[in-house]
Amino acid sequence: MANNPNAPSGAPEESKSLAERWQEARSAFRNLPRAFSLVWQSSRIATLGMAVVALLGGLLPISQAWVAKLIVDEVVAAVVGGVAAALALRAIFPLLLVEFGLLTTGAVLNQVRTLSEHVLHARLGHTINMAIIRKSLALDLHYFEDAQFYDKLQNARRESNWRAMSMIRTSFNLIENVITLTSFAIGLLAFSPLIALLLFGATIPSFIVQTRYSRLTFRLLTWRAPEFRRMNYFEHLLTVDSSAKEIKLFGLGEPLLERYQEQFWKIAREDEALARRRSLLSTLWGMLATVSYYAAYAWIVLLTVSSTITIGAMTFYLTLFRQSQGTFQGLFFNVGQLYESGLFLENLFGFLALTPQMITGQGHPVPHPIAQGIEFRNVSFRYPDREEWALRDVSLVVRPGEKLALVGANGAGKTTLIKLLTRLYDPTEGQILLDGVDLREYDLTALRQSIGVIFQDFVRYQVSARENIGFGQIEQLANEPRIQSAAERGGADEMIAGLPEGYDTILGRWFEKGAELSGGQWQKIALGRAFMRDSEVLVLDEPTAALDAEREYEIFQRFRELTAGRIAFLISHRFSTVRMADRIIVIEQGQLSESGTHVELLALDGTYARLFNMQAEGYR
């Protein structure tokens, strides 16, 4: 099977069997009911408005053509019969009123169509965005750590809004075309089946060309999802505050802009080449339709000259010839547009069909307080699509109220252990038990609400200081004393008091009147967010990495007070911090290698002692 020379580089083979193409077409058109469902959800009134326009608009052309025929015949009869102008006008006037009414109806229908499309366009975009965001919220973390997921997300977002709208608009246009064409076909078949076959048949080649290039356009854009994402990434780097300093200091602006342009032109050249071929072939086959129309035109003029039909009938049939071919072309064009839009919506509905693998339990309420503790029982885990184990045969018991420090090299498995504890992932092997019950038996939302976490890569929300802290327990966002208490425990209270509008100050520079914070100040905000949650378990992943030594010492002098009555997991590379824990766990290459207090591990003279002494040496 030969490759299509016109296909984009890296694309699969274009040649397909009839069965494969039929299946592809079925998949595309199967999206039509789902697109209607989205539009119906967006606005029922606007959808019904478009349906009424399609039904009435389909009957207008034949009605206008017939009234025009009657007017011409009345005028010719008056001229030939020498009828007085006043009498002729009296006979024609009702027909003129009917024609005026039809034209007015057409104008009103056009305005109803425009208004309905305007309403639907904004609402449909919102409906689709909501569906994509809700699906993203429901999906497991492993999707967001997979590059192919972002390609699917990119394809789902790209053009979905206007493609869904286009599909509905095209469907109603198609209904209107079918109604109009049916009325025309009755008149044409009664006049000459051969003429009808000539006019309609000449439009088929152009339809085939449009359909073929619709498929190629869809494939080009789908294959190029990674390039589109790279373009978006470079644009993001070049326009946000978080990267502006390095971009300027390292002179990265123009080099990154060149990469952005390189991706753009790679896609644009292929797209333009495809569009040129599509336009050329469509023009050539469109000329065939034009030739067929003028052949029919010549025939009807001949019949009129030979007095076989009246001048009014000639006007009627010429209108039918011209409009029927245009309507037939429009019908085929709309079918092609339906097919093309259906292909693009396959990306949207394919994304919405993704299912989370994390199953929430129903049987057990999360214990408050924890009575027995947490147990990792022979837990092993590897990330999806990876061969190596991130954790291997980990067994660990954490007693109620115990403070546990996790130390080890970057990538040893510390944060992975926390991801399993918070059920961002489930173990590949083994179990994690809370008070003797597997975590998978608990309600997922309730379980996560019982754990307060600050990760090293915490989010810097570009909202008010109050919301930044209150997001730790969103249900308590209006609880001012609780927010202030959490800020105080995280060490952010004095800093917030010095902001222009206190807790109402917008943090970050993305929005007007925003106040930018230092790394250490942001970390205090994140600590406050973790303390906002009334949790049974507190997880602090490098909680003081950006704090100065004095503030770090102050927080950890209060460490036990801040975590009183809770199980606490502390991940840190600073051994001055971890020595305050009840027990220190050393993780190496995904396995627990040492366990004990600071004094016990120093006496063991193993990995912990070596790392502690190395760090201590740096301060001498």
Q: What one-character-per-residue DSSP string does 152-204 give?
A: HHHHHHTTHHHHHHHHHHHHHHHHHHHHHHHHHHHHHHHH-HHHHHHHHHTTH
At 93, which CATH number?
1.20.1560.10
As for how many domains the chain has, the answer is: 2
CA distance 530 to 568: 12
Residue 222 to residue 244: CA distance in whole angstroms: 31
Lowest-confidence segment of 13-22, 86-95, 449-458, 511-520 by average pLDDT: 13-22
* Domain hosting residue 73, numbered range: 18-224+285-352
In a domain, 237, yes or no: no
Half-sphere exposure of 443 (CA within 13 A, CB side): 10
> Are 184 and 322 part of one and the same domain?
yes
477 and 329 both lie in a single domain: no
User: Average pLDDT of the chain?
Assistant: 77
User: Is there a single domain that holds both residue 471 and residue 332?
Assistant: no
* Domain at 523, CATH number: 3.40.50.300
Residue 479 has pLDDT above 70, yes or no: yes
Q: Is residue 256 part of a domain?
A: no
Residues 466, 348 within the same domain: no
Q: Which of 3-12, 220-229, 380-389, 570-579 has the lowest mean pLDDT?
A: 3-12
Six token digits for residue 456:
């090293």
Instruction: With CA atoms as reference, report the closest residue to 124 among 93, 84, 91, 165.
Output: 165
Q: Judge whether 411 lies within some domain.
A: no
Residue at 345 is within a domain: yes
On whether both 40 and 173 belong to a single domain, the answer is: yes
Q: Coil, helix or strand for 407? A: strand
- What tens digit of pLDDT does each residue of 113-157 get? 888 888 887 788 778 888 888 888 888 777 777 777 777 777 777
Q: Which of 516, 534, 552 finishes a domain?
A: 534
Comparing C-alpha atoms, which of 135, 88, 120, 345 is closest to residue 222? 345
Q: How far apart are CA 494 and CA 93, in angstroms?
A: 86
62 shares its domain with 186: yes
Q: Are 395 and 378 in contact (CB under 8 A)?
A: yes
Amino acid letter, residue 80: V
User: Is residue 24 domain-shared with residue 172, that is, in the same domain?
Assistant: yes
Flag whether pLDDT at 368 surpasses 80.
yes
Report which of 523, 517, 562 is spatially closest to residue 545, judged by C-alpha positions.
523
Do 33 and 150 belong together in one domain? yes
If phi > 0 it is left, if psi is from -120 to 50 it is alpha, else beta; for residue 22 that is: alpha
Residue 386 covered by a domain:
no
Asked which of 315, 334, 352 is the last residue of a domain, the reply is: 352
In a domain, 577, yes or no: no
| Domain's final residue, options 485, 515, 534 | 534
228-237, 462-471, 515-524, 601-610: lowest mean pLDDT where? Answer: 228-237
> Which pLDDT value is given to residue 236?
73
Q: Does 474 share its domain with 328?
A: no
pLDDT tens, residue by residue, 259-317: 888 877 877 777 777 777 776 766 666 666 666 666 666 777 777 777 777 777 777 76
- Residue 169, in any domain of the structure: yes
Q: Name which of 199-208, 237-246, 460-469, 591-600 the model is least confident about.
A: 199-208
Determine, yes or no, domain membership for 333: yes
pTM over 0.85: no
**Cβ atoms of 394 and 420 closer than 8 Å:** no
Could you tell me if 214 and 83 lie in one domain? yes
| Same-domain pairing of 346 and 472 | no
